[in-house]
């Protein structure tokens, strides 16, 4: 028993009664209101529920059916919710017809530079500003970000341009600062299986973009999303950003097949990060177009005014004029698959 399907006219009182019954069995539950019907997702070890107890719930007032889900990612799977999840970020609907572009520098380096980039990507058509205030780096001796100062710069850029903000969290101790300034919390690839961090962001009221781990399978990725959703945060966005393979021609191997696979398995929106996926600015535009063609709901693009002077990932950053070209070339691709930029 993993889903309780309710009749269309089930009252709030009856829903509360069903939830109380489930909680008495040591289970947690989340209510999902769809356009056609409402369902209750049951979280916990449902194998302990006997057939008799399941039948007792099935005959409760307002219950239409009780269904078992075999997939381990119960809340993220299509069995739990057939409709695509649409996430509202300041009026920008991620998962709808419009494909949203999240653009900006890899790291927030200075207020002046960030403002310049924000204005240019906004003018070109981006709706969300990306920028790292806390930077996870392979070497402890490289630039680690500006911290809360960088968050303040991002907030000022939002106020000036109207762009929403996405930035990465690395440590649960930073969650209060992140919550104060950002609109979308990003979980980076190195933290995809940092389960303590996933549970922390699962308890907050902000959308969470979850990047795929370097060597993570799709099932492992969805299980990480399940950690977030199990705490009550249903606004998860999955982001393909390349996986580690034997190939050395690109920084990573951008697994675009993951997008249509995820569209079959989950109702969650799917984003693609071609910048990290290939690690080369000259390949970002063609891979971004391919991502749109296979069904991506959003793209994350690194943009910098002077990539050669960037403090991180300059080799994969587009200059503002190249970003304008990208936005122009994405339009016909999006139209061809019934979407818009």
pLDDT at 305 over 70: yes
Q: Is residue 19 part of a domain?
A: yes
Q: Please state, in angstroms and rounded to a whole number, the distance separating the CA atoms of residues 180 and 177.
A: 5
Residue 128 and residue 201 in one domain: yes
Boundary-marking domain end, from 67, 101, 121: 67
Full DSSP string of 35-95: SS-EEEEEES-GGGS-HHHHHHHHTSTTEEEEE---SS-TTTBTTT--SPP-EEETTEEET
Number of domains the chain is built from: 2
CATH number, domain of 284, equals 3.20.20.70
CA 158 to chain CA centroid, Å, is 20
Confidence of residue 137 (pLDDT cuts 50, 70, 90): low
| Dihedral (Cα; 147, 153, 157, 163), 10-degree rounding | 10
Residue 45 and residue 95 in one domain: no
Residue 226 and residue 270 in one domain: yes
The lowest-confidence range among 5-9, 28-32, 287-291 is 28-32
Q: What is the pLDDT of residue 339?
A: 98
Identify which of 106, 105, 115, 119 has the alpha carbon closest to the alpha carbon of residue 155: 115
Residue 93 and residue 63 in one domain: no
Q: Is residue 135 part of a domain?
A: yes
Residue 153 and residue 266 in one domain: yes
Q: Is residue 241 part of a domain?
A: yes
Mean per-residue pLDDT over the chain, rounded = 93
- Between 69 and 106, name the one with better pLDDT: 106
Residue 124 and residue 234 in one domain: yes
Q: For the chain, how are helix, strand and coil distributed in percent, rounded to 5? A: 40, 20, 40
Q: What is the pLDDT of residue 275?
A: 97
Structural domain boundaries, residue 30: 3-67
**pTM of the entire predicted model:** 0.88
Identify which of 245, 221, 244, 329 has the alpha carbon closest to the alpha carbon of residue 284: 329
Q: Is residue 79 part of a domain?
A: no
pLDDT tens profile 258-298:
999 999 999 999 999 999 999 999 999 999 999 999 999 99
Q: Is residue 31 part of a domain?
A: yes
pLDDT at 1 over 80: no
pLDDT at 27 over 90: no
Residue 289 and residue 152 in one domain: yes
Q: Is the separation of the CB atoms in 58 and 66 below 8 Å?
A: yes
Q: What is the pLDDT of residue 201?
A: 97
Q: Is residue 266 part of a domain?
A: yes
Q: Is residue 74 part of a domain?
A: no
Residue 45 and residue 109 in one domain: no
């Amino acid at each position: 028993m993993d889903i309780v399907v309710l009749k269309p006219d089930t009252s709030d009182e009856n829903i509360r009664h069903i939830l109380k019954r489930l909680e008495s069995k040591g289970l947690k539950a989340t209510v999902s209101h769809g356009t056609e019907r409402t369902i209750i997702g049951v979280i916990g070890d449902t194998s302990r529920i006997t057939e008799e107890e399941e039948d007792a719930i099935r005959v409760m007032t307002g219950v239409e059916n009780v269904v078992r889900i075999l997939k381990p990612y119960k809340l993220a799977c299509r069995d739990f919710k057939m409709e695509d999840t649409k996430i509202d970020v300041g009026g920008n609907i991620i998962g709808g017809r419009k494909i949203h572009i999240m653009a900006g520098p890899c790291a927030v380096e200075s207020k002046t530079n960030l403002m310049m980039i924000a204005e240019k990507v906004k003018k070109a058509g981006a709706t969300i500003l990306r920028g790292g205030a806390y930077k996870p780096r392979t070497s402890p001796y490289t630039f680690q970000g500006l911290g809360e100062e960088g968050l303040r710069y991002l907030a000022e850029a939002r106020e000036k341009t109207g762009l929403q903000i996405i930035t990465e969290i690395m440590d649960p101790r930073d969650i209060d600062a992140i919550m104060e300034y950002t609109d979308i919390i990003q979980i980076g690839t190195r933290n995809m299986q940092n389960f303590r961090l996933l549970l922390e962001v699962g308890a907050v009221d902000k959308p969470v973009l979850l990047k795929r781990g370097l060597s993570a399978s799709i099932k492992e990725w969805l299980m990480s999303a399940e950690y977030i959703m199990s705490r009550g945060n249903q606004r998860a966005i999955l982001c393909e950003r390349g996986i580690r393979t034997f190939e050395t021609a690109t920084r990573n191997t951008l697994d675009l097949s993951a997008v249509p696979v995820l569209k079959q398995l989950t109702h969650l929106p799917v984003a693609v990060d071609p910048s990290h996926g290939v690690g080369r600015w000259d390949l970002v535009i063609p891979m971004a177009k391919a991502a749109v063609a296979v069904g991506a709901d959003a793209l994350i693009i690194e943009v910098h005014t002077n990539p050669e002077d960037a403090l991180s990932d300059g080799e994969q950053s587009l200059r503002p004029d190249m970003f304008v070209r990208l936005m122009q070339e994405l339009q016909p691709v999006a139209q061809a698959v019934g979407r818009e930029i």
